């Protein structure tokens, strides 16, 4: 029900929305909760376990009951707190965890079986038979107990991530936060003021306090206007600081557009911020706690501060006859505010016999609520006074068990709060998060004047730490009421008394946990699930541990608290992982030939971040094998073109370049002549093979190293490590030039013929022999030509500055096609190299040595190199190691598969008989046979033997012959041709 | 005779505009990496100064101006953007042509800082990251070099093959920032 003349909503703008299919109207500035209460809707959801009818309990982010699914279709957002979601025109909200409807929920039958569903119920009941857990019990329980669900469909809404930096982060914008931000801002510090609400002001918006005789919200507006005008201040509302992390980093979730009816198409839904602050002041206020009295969970029973908030901020009163029940003076404000607004106050019930209460309404001191009635909403309460029990008609009960400082962030680095008896609450221990100080109610200072003083004082401390002088700021005149409280954790009586509303945990559950010796607060939490719901027990933690303390005969400080962990409020995974969806997961690297390659319909495969063509299909070809076989034959018989730009290229210069290479490679490069290229092998420090590739000597002190595509980054890192840590004195400099050059393999018997059509000065076999390299010009462009071969053919690699890559690739293809050749892709490249027994990272997979791949003689005896001593360890030169061989099928079955294992013909194919494994396979059109490279125990000594290839997965047993790993042209005559 | 047609690293991708911000490709005539040899830092700096008018920048700094800028790129490594590196510099430093290896872009306009705040994890506030400051950091998943070239402008470099993703990521962030204004 609306109250005329109250509230900070804009009554000129009506907003239509729906809840469970029913249309309602609210005003601009309403949350779903305030608008529903204005429409006299009290029932908003069903509880987790018992499916009990529940209503709105609070007016903030701590709300445990009024969780809704907002939106429809793929982007529906479950478990949205009605108390924090603004309404907008067309908003669609649905209640959760009920069937067929909120008012008639079949599973509320659970409520009748309360005695069975108590703490530990699942552990005790669903143990037998064991196999039933996964198939029967768990699916059923998940269906019966739960909250909202995602749509299960792809959600196109976009979130984003962002970083922010500041001198002082102020978290919360109540009186302490505002004065802290104002002081820091006026002092000239870079300030971020973060407020989780849609509006700055905190409790100043929800109370009738005056500051300097002005209504609280007017003072708020003045301060915000001043801050807004300053360049050094960033005001972030709808931004909940969710976690405190190392080195002054705070996580924060900003609601960007999920409160808007028609957000900008490019605006994200939410933004997840990482704010790095030199100093931070936590001014997060406090959360009022409920009282655990019997049947305290009915719709219409709310916290007293929430009732005030709805009245003062939203002009809504949640009932027609409101009763107030509390154990502290603050609760009295609710009765007074309601009475002043003309709302009937049914009673003010104070549990303290000595409470000082006055008011124009019935007052009961030393009294407690002992029962309530009303199936879908509160209709009456029963109170017990010194003289007996009494029944009161009321449709809204405002309760207050006192206040808990919102100190969660201070505990995010495993700090523990300390108990303060005078306010019967935990308060932050100083310095639990470095650089984070706490002010106002969050520090247990509850009066407005106290909060202002505390905010200013903590801001000054933060400024002092930064060496900034704090300007003098007169504090506004504000109330300074004492906060008197006598703890009341639970009210004895029949019926269940809820502690954790969201997870349906009652005082009985906690006592049962204690009785079953789950007496530690952390054990109690897990046994009862108290505090494990999406609200993380914001309302219930302290109450539950007080009940536990009582049940175990300990004091509260002795019992301790559970651990507060980030996030303070729920953060969607979509926000934390923003930007990572689809291709956002990893960047794409494209070669200069990409466009021309895609135009030729080549399927692209990923090689690290690079995209490379698998094969180049021709119109008549229907399978990849057809294209691959053709491309292999093309290279063997005429000429093929392949983009090899993805191979790492490292430019190495300096007087010690040769010595440096001698140290990182197993073989010698100081003896390489200028204008020549040499194959090199690189070991890790542990003696295993790291990478291989060719290195060209471009000048006396100038080399160009190539690496494999996969190891381009790791090799660069390795070189940096070796230079910076092992041989800093070497005068050598290196830098990646992978991207500077577009490089193409021109391979096949007609390669020179093709090249001579574009080279400005033609080459001959004598002038440019195998392994020659040097500068050339082609079509007027400076280029580099290398006579190297990864196919075993007479072949070259030609490199041009990347700007010409696209043009040269197209040009080379046209010329190759005119000669009966064309482009070849990764599949053909792989077949060509297997035929020649050349290794890739399939073979040098990190667990093989130079000895294993038959390259032990490449480890020079004349010099030291990285990995040489380690590679000489006895275990690494044992002839019985699995070493590289070729295999060919010789039986009926011809199929070879990589990953299959090798066994002696008469052995059973089990682990203990394992002789090795197959690492690369292909069909060779050149030799019309399947070929495989394999690692076989003592392989080189077993050429000619028969071995069985067994693949248990594919049920393959293939008889093979062991042979030399080079299947084609062992002498390398073709490359020299 | 046939001629090879050159393509720029961001050919067909730029410029992009969102709100008051623009992202354009910059095409320095030449980009050379300069890595002074041991003990030659001062001599290299002097030779660069004599030929191009700017000294070798220290860590996280850039010297020179539009058209002739030297940008720190890492330990002992500077990129000279614009002029050809003077020939005599090769006595003191390893020179490597990088003219084709990187895409160079300028993000300009109010909100440029906010755009980068969505992509880079470093503090780019004007009071901290001033004109002539540079950093090697990340642009989402890519490594980048970012230099403040003006009150509202940043010069960004990523390796050439990343151009498509870099422009895509920058465009999304630009639109996102523009949508909030």
Is A114's pLDDT higher than 80?
no
Residue B4 counted as domain residue: no
pLDDT band for position A144 (50/70/90)? low
Widest CA span in chain B: 55
pLDDT tens, position by position, A758-776: 999 999 999 999 999 999 9
User: Residue A225: which of A178, A284, A169 has the closest Cα?
Assistant: A178
Q: How far is A585 from chain B (nearest CA, A)?
A: 8
List, in order, residues 6 or more apart from A472 with CB less than 8 Å away.
none
Asked if residue B86 and residue B47 are part of one domain, the reply reads: yes
Q: Is B3 close to A160, i.e. CB distance below 8 A?
A: no
| Chain A, window 642-681: residues with a beta carbon less than 8 angstroms from a chain B beta carbon | 651, 653-655
Quote the tokens at residue A748.
């096949």
Q: A781 at the B interface (CB within 8 A)?
A: yes
pLDDT in tens, A624-679: 999 999 999 999 999 999 999 999 999 999 999 999 999 999 999 999 999 999 99
Domain A290-401 identical in fold to domain A487-575: no
Instruction: Check whether residue B105 and residue B47 sit in a common domain.
Output: no
| Residues B104 and B92 grouped into a single domain | no
Among A798, A803, A818, the strongest candidate for a mutation testing the B interface, having the largest count of B CBs within 10 A, is: A803
Same domain, B107 and B171: yes
Looking at the structure of chain B, the number of domains it has is: 2
CA gap A163, B121 in Å, rounded = 6
Distance from the A257 Cα atom to the nearest Cα atom in chain B, whole angstroms:
9
Of B171, B129, B138, the C-alpha closest to B14 is: B171
Name the closest residue on chain A to residue B33, using Cα atoms: A735
Q: In chain B, which residues have their Cβ closer than 8 Å to the Cβ of A653?
A: 35, 94, 96
Using the 8-state DSSP alphabet, how is residue A602 labeled?
P
* Nearest-angstrom CA–CA distance, B116 and B124: 8
Between chains, do A163 and B102 touch, taking CB under 8 Å as contact? no
Per-residue pLDDT of chain B (181 residues; tens, 9 = 90+): 578 999 999 999 999 999 999 999 999 999 999 999 999 999 999 999 999 999 999 999 999 999 999 999 999 999 999 999 888 899 999 999 999 999 999 999 999 999 999 999 999 999 999 999 999 999 999 999 999 999 999 999 999 999 999 999 999 999 999 999 7
* Residue B42 placed within a domain: yes
Give residue-wise pLDDT tens across range A304-346: 999 999 999 999 999 999 999 999 999 999 999 999 999 999 9
Give the distance from residue A802's alpha carbon to the nearest chain B alpha carbon, in angstroms.
5
Q: Choose which CATH entry (2.60.40, 1.10.3470, 1.10.10, 3.30.70) describes domain A487-575.
A: 1.10.10
CA distance A941 to A224: 84
Return the DSSP state at A199: S
Q: Residues, chain A, total?
A: 977
A733 to chain B, closest Cα gap in Å? 7
Residues of A in contact with B160 (CB under 8 A): 739, 802
Residues 225-284 of A with CB under 8 A from B: 256, 264-268, 274, 276
- The answer to whether residue A125 scores a pLDDT higher than 80 is no
| Encoded tokens for A896 | 């070879």
Kindly state whether A818 is in contact with chain B, defined as any CB-CB distance less than 8 angstroms.
Answer: no
> Using an 8 Å Cβ cutoff, are B104 and B28 in contact?
yes
Last-in-domain residue among B58, B74, B97: B97
Q: Which residues of B touch A803 (CB under 8 A)?
A: 6-9, 99-100
The tokens describing A465, both together, are 């730490």
User: What is the tens place of the pLDDT at every residue in A668-714?
Assistant: 999 999 999 999 999 999 999 999 999 999 999 999 999 999 999 99
Q: Between chains, do A737 and B96 touch, taking CB under 8 Å as contact?
A: yes
| Overall fold of domain A648-736 | Alpha-Beta Plaits (3.30.70)
Closest-CA residue of chain A to B171: A266
Query: For residues A854 and A970, is the Cβ–Cβ distance under 8 A?
Result: no
CA dihedral over A4, A6, A7, A11, signed as positive or negative: positive
Q: Which of A405, A439, A431 is nearest to A181 (CA)?
A: A439
Dihedral class, residue B62 (left if φ above 0, else alpha if ψ from -120 to 50, else beta): beta
Residues of B in contact with A588 (CB under 8 A): 162, 164-165
Interface residue A524 vs chain B (CB under 8 A): no
Angstroms from A593 CA to nearest CA on chain B: 11
- E strands, B56-176, in order: 62-65, 68-74, 77-81, 93-97, 102-108, 134-139, 142-150, 153-159
Residue B46, CA distances (Å) to A77, A571, A653, A884, B53 in order: 62, 54, 21, 55, 9
Nearest-Cα residue of chain B relative to residue A730? B38
Q: Given an 8 Å threshold on Cβ–Cβ distance, is B161 in contact with A586?
A: no
3-class DSSP assignment, residue A178: helix
**Chain A nearest-CA residue for B95:** A653
For residue B3, being part of any structural domain is answered with no
Q: Residue B73: which domain range?
A: 32-97
**Chain B residues with beta carbon closer than 8 angstroms to that of A583:** 165
- The pair phi, psi for residue A632, each rounded to 5°, is -65, -50
B81 and B52 share one domain = yes
Domain A627-645+740-833 has CATH 3.40.50.300: no
Query: A160-286+405-466: which CATH number, 3.40.50.300, 3.20.20.70, 3.50.50.60, 3.40.470.10?
Result: 3.50.50.60
Question: What whole-number distance in Å separates Cα of residue A563 and Cα of residue A522?
Answer: 8
Query: Domain limits of chain A?
Result: 1-152, 160-286+405-466, 290-401, 487-575, 627-645+740-833, 648-736, 878-977
Say how far apart CA A617 and CA A625 lie, in whole Å: 10
Output the pLDDT for position A492.
93
CB of A579 within 8 Å of a chain B CB? The answer is yes
Nearest in space to A160 (alpha carbons), one of A88, A257, A79, A229: A257
Residues B39 and B68 in one domain: yes
Inter-chain residue contact A801 with B99, CB threshold 8 Å: yes
Of A162, A806, A811, the CB nearest to B2: A811
Q: What stretch of H or E contains A307?
A: helix A304-314
- Architecture of domain A878-977 in this structure: Beta Barrel (2.40)
Residues B40 and B109 both lie in one domain: no
Contact A739 B35 (CB under 8 A): no
Rounded to a whole number of angstroms, the distance between the first and last alpha carbons of chain A is 96
Domain-ending residue, one of B43, B63, B97: B97
Contact assignment for A266 to B102 by CB distance below 8 Å: no
* Residue B9 falls inside a structural domain: no
- The whole-angstrom separation of Cα A857 and Cα A133 is 61
Q: A800, B4: Cβ pair inside 8 Å?
A: yes
Residue B11 lies in a domain: no
Fold of the CATH domain A290-401: FAD/NAD(P)-binding domain (3.50.50)
User: Region A465-489: what's the mean pLDDT?
Assistant: 96
Residues of chain A contacting residue B164, judged by C-beta atoms under 8 Å apart: 588, 590
Question: pLDDT category, A116, cuts 50, 70, 90?
Answer: low
A46 neighbors A97 (Cβ within 8 angstroms): yes
Whether the CB-CB separation of A871 and A951 falls below 8 Å is answered with no
Nearest Cα of chain B lies from the Cα of A322 at a distance, in angstroms, of 43
pLDDT for A150 equals 87
Would residue B153 count as lying in a domain?
A: yes
Neighboring chain B residues of A781 at a CB cutoff of 8 Å: 4
Provide the percentage of residues in chain A whose pLDDT is more than 90: 89
d(CA A838, nearest CA chain B) in Å: 28
Query: A1-152 maps to which CATH number?
Result: 3.10.20.440
CB contact under 8 A, B7 and A807: yes
Which residues does chain A have within 8 Å of residue B163's beta carbon, measured at their own beta carbons? 590
The answer to whether the CB atoms of A160 and B118 lie below 8 A apart is yes
Which residues partner with B145 through β-bridges?
B136, B157
Query: CA of A806, closest CA in chain B: separation in Å?
Result: 8
Q: A807 vs B4: CB contact, 8 Å cut-off?
A: yes
**A-chain residues within 8 Å CB-CB of B165?**
583, 587-589
Select the residue of B100, B117, B162 nearest A589 (Cβ to Cβ): B162
Helix residue ranges per DSSP H, A315-402:
330-340
Distance (Å, rounded) from C-alpha A822 to C-alpha A801?
22
> Are B122 and B162 contained in the same domain?
yes
Instruction: With CB atoms and an 8 Å threshold, state whether A779 touches B2.
Output: yes
Task: Check CB contact under 8 Å for A779 and B33.
Answer: no
Rounded mean pLDDT of A357-384? Answer: 95
Residues A347, A353, A355, A360, Cα dihedral to 10°: 30
Is A163's CB within 8 Å of B121's CB? Answer: yes
Which tens digits make up the pLDDT trace of A174-231?
999 999 999 999 999 999 999 999 999 999 999 999 999 999 999 999 999 999 999 9
Q: What pLDDT does A833 receive?
A: 98
Nearest chain A Cα distance for residue B88, angstroms:
15
Nearest CA in chain A to B40: A731
* Both structure tokens of B34: 């300069």
Of A326, A310, A169, A303, which is closest to residue A234 (Cα–Cα)?
A: A169
Among the partner-chain residues B35, B161, B180, the one whose CB lies closest to the CB of A590 is B161
Q: Answer whether A803 sits within 8 Å of B141, measured CB to CB.
A: no
Mean pLDDT for chain A overall = 95
Take residue A261 and report the two structure tokens written for it. 């009816």
Q: What is the DSSP letter of A133?
A: I
Instruction: Verify whether the Cβ–Cβ distance A801 to B1 is below 8 Å.
Output: no
Q: Name the strand (E) or helix (H) holding B128.
A: none
Nearest CA in chain B to A728: B38
What CATH number is associated with residue B167? Answer: 3.30.1360.120
Contacts of A450 (CB under 8 A, 6+ apart): A440, A480
Number of cross-chain residue pairs from A and B with Cβ atoms under 8 Å apart? 143
Q: Are residues B86 and B44 in the same domain?
A: yes
Average pLDDT, stretch A934-945? 98
> What burial letters (b/e) apply to A473-508, b meaning 16+ CB within 10 Å?
eeebebeeeebbbebbbbbebeebbbbbbbbbbbbb
In this structure, the answer to whether residues B161 and B133 fall within a common structural domain is yes
Task: Mark which residues 66-105 of A lie under 8 Å from B by CB.
Answer: none
């Amino acid at each position: 029900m609306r109250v005329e003349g109250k509230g900070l909503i804009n009554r000129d703008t009506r907003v239509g929305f729906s809840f469970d299919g029913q249309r309602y109207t609210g005003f601009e500035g309403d949350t779903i909760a305030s608008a529903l209460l204005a429409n006299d809707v009290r029932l908003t959801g069903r509880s987790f376990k018992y499916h009990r009818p529940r209503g709105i309990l609070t007016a903030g982010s701590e709300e445990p009951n009024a969780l809704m699914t907002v939106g429809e279709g793929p982007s529906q957002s479950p478990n949205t707190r009605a108390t924090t979601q603004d309404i907008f025109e067309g908003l669609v909200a649905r209640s959760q965890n009920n069937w067929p409807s909120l008012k008639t929920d079949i599973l509320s039958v659970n409520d009748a079986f309360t005695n069975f569903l108590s703490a530990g119920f699942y552990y005790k009941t669903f143990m037998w038979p064991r196999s039933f857990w996964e198939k029967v019990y768990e699916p059923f329980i998940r269906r019966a107990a739960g909250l909202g669900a995602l749509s299960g469909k792809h959600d196109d809404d976009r979130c984003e991530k962002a970083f922010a930096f500041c001198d002082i982060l102020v978290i919360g914008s109540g009186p302490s936060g505002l004065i802290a931000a104002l002081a820091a801002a006026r002092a000239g510090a870079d300030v971020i003021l973060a407020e989780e609400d849609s509006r700055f002001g905190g409790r100043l918006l929800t109370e009738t306090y005056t500051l300097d005789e002005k209504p609280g919200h007017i003072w708020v507006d003045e301060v915000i206007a001043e801050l807004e005008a300053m360049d050094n201040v960033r005001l972030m509302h709808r931004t909940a600081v969710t976690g405190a992390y190392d080195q002054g980093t705070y996580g924060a979730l900003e609601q960007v557009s999920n409160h808007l009816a028609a957000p900008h198409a490019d605006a994200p839904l939410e933004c997840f911020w990482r704010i790095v602050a030199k100093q931070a002041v936590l001014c997060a206020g406090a959360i009022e706690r409920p009282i655990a009295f019997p049947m305290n969970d009915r719709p219409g029973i709310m916290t007293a501060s929430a009732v005030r908030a709805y009245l003062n901020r939203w002009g809504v009163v949640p009932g027609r006859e409101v009763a107030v029940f509390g154990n502290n003076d603050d609760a009295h404000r609710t009765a007074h505010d309601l009475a002043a607004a003309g709302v009937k106050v049914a009673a003010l019930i104070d549990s303290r016999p000595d409470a000082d209460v006055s008011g124009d309404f019935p007052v009961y001191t030393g009294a407690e609520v002992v029962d309530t009635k009303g199936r879908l909403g509160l209709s009456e309460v029963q109170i017990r006074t010194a003289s007996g029990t009494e029944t009161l008609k009321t449709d809204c009960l405002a309760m207050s068990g006192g206040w808990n400082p919102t100190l969660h962030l201070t505990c995010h680095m495993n700090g523990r709060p300390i108990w303060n008896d005078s306010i019967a609450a935990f308060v932050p221990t100083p310095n639990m998060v470095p650089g984070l100080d706490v002010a106002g109610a969050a520090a247990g200072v509850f009066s407005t004047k106290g909060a202002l003083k505390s905010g200013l004082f903590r801001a000054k401390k933060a400024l002092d730490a930064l060496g900034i002088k704090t300007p003098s700021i007169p504090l506004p005149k504000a109330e300074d009421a004492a906060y008197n409280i006598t703890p009341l954790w639970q009210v004895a009586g029949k019926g269940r008394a809820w502690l954790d509303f969201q997870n349906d945990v009652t005082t009985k559950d906690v006592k049962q946990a204690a009785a079953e010796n789950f007496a530690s607060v952390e054990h109690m939490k897990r046994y009862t699930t108290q505090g494990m719901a999406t609200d993380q027990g914001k309302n219930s933690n302290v109450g539950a541990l007080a009940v536990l303390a009582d049940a175990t005969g300990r004091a509260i400080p002795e019992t301790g608290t559970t651990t507060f962990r980030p996030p303070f409020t729920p953060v969607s995974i979509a926000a934390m992982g923003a930007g990572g969806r689809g291709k956002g997961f990893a960047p794409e690297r494209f070669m200069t030939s990409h466009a021309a390659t895609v135009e030729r319909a080549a399927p692209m495969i990923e090689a690290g971040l690079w995209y490379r063509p698998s094969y180049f299909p021709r119109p008549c070809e229907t399978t990849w094998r057809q294209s691959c076989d053709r491309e292999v034959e093309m290279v063997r018989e005429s000429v093929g073109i392949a983009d090899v730009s993805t191979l790492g290229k490292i430019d190495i210069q300096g007087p010690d370049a040769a010595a440096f290479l001698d140290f990182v490679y197993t073989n010698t490069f100081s003896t390489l002549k200028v204008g020549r290229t040499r194959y090199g092998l690189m070991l890790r420090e542990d003696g295993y093979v790291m990478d291989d590739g060719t290195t060209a000597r471009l000048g006396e002190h100038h080399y160009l190293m190539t690496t494999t595509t996969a190891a381009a980054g790791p090799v660069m890192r390795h070189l940096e490590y070796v230079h910076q840590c092992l041989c800093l004195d070497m005068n050598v400099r290196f830098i990646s030039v992978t991207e500077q050059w577009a490089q193409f393999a021109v391979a096949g018997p007609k390669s020179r013929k093709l090249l001579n059509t574009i080279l400005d000065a033609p080459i001959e076999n004598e002038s440019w022999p195998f392994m020659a390299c040097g500068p050339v010009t082609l079509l007027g462009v400076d280029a580099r030509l290398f006579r190297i071969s990864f196919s075993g053919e007479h072949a070259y690699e030609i490199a041009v500055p990347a700007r010409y890559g696209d043009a040269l690739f197209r040009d080379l293809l046209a010329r190759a096609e005119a000669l009966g050749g064309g482009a070849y892709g990764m599949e053909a490249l792989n077949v060509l190299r297997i035929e020649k027994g050349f290794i890739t990272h399939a073979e040098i997979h990190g667990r093989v040595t130079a000895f294993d791949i038959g390259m032990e003689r490449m480890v020079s005896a004349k010099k030291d190199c990285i990995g040489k001593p380690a590679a000489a360890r006895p275990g690494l030169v044992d002839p019985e190691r699995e070493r590289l061989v070729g295999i060919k099928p010789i039986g009926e079955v011809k199929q070879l598969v990589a990953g299959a294992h090798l066994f002696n013909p008469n052995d059973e194919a089990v682990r203990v008989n394992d002789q090795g494994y197959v690492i690369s396979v292909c069909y060779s059109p050149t030799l019309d046979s399947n070929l495989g490279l394999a690692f076989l125990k003592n392989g080189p000594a077993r050429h000619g033997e028969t071995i069985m290839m067994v693949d248990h997965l594919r049920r393959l047993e293939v008889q093979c012959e062991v042979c030399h790993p080079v299947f084609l042209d062992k002498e390398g005559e073709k490359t020299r041709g | 005779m046939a001629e090879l047609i050159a393509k720029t690293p961001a050919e067909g991708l730029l410029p992009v505009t969102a709100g008051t911000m623009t992202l354009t490709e910059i095409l320095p005539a030449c980009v050379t990496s300069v890595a002074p040899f041991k003990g030659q830092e001062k001599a290299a700096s002097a030779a660069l100064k004599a030929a191009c008018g700017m000294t070798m920048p220290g860590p996280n700094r850039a010297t020179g101006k539009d058209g002739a800028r030297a940008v720190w790129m890492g330990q002992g490594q500077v990129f000279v953007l614009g002029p050809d590196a003077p020939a005599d510099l090769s006595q003191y430093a390893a020179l490597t042509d990088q003219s084709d290896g990187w895409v160079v872009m300028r993000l300009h306009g109010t909100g440029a800082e906010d755009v980068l705040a969505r992509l880079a994890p470093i503090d780019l506030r004007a009071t901290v990251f001033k004109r002539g400051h540079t950093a090697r950091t990340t642009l989402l998943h890519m490594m980048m070099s970012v230099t403040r070239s003006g009150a509202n402008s940043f010069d960004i470099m990523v390796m050439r093959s990343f151009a498509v993703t870099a422009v895509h990521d920058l465009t999304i962030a630009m639109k996102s920032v523009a949508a909030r204004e």
